Amino acid sequence: MAAKVRVSYEKPQELQAVTELLKPVVKTCRADKGRDGRFRRAYMDLEIPEEKAQKGADTPLI
């Protein structure tokens, strides 16, 4: 299963923390470098193995 995620962050440390949490399933991560303003964005492509895919709303994803 594949998913695309957009992450908004203020400091690079925040993006690093999110990346560390999602490390097992992150396929690619691309950060916008030229944005002005308070928040920056990063785009991630995730590849979630079928055996770890969420089967119901009450089960954890990872």
Q: Are 11 and 54 in contact (CB under 8 A)?
A: no
- Give the C-alpha separation, 51 to 6, whole Å: 24
**4-58 per-position pLDDT tens digit:** 999 999 999 999 999 999 998 999 999 988 777 889 999 999 998 877 666 666 6
- Give the C-alpha separation, 15 to 58, whole Å: 27
Q: Most distant CA pair in the chain: distance in Å?
A: 40
- Give the C-alpha separation, 33 to 47, whole Å: 24
Q: Which pLDDT score, from 0 to 100, does residue 33 have?
A: 80
Q: Which pLDDT score, from 0 to 100, does residue 28 have?
A: 95
Q: Is 9 exposed, middle or buried (0-12, 13-18, 19+ CB in 10 A)?
A: middle
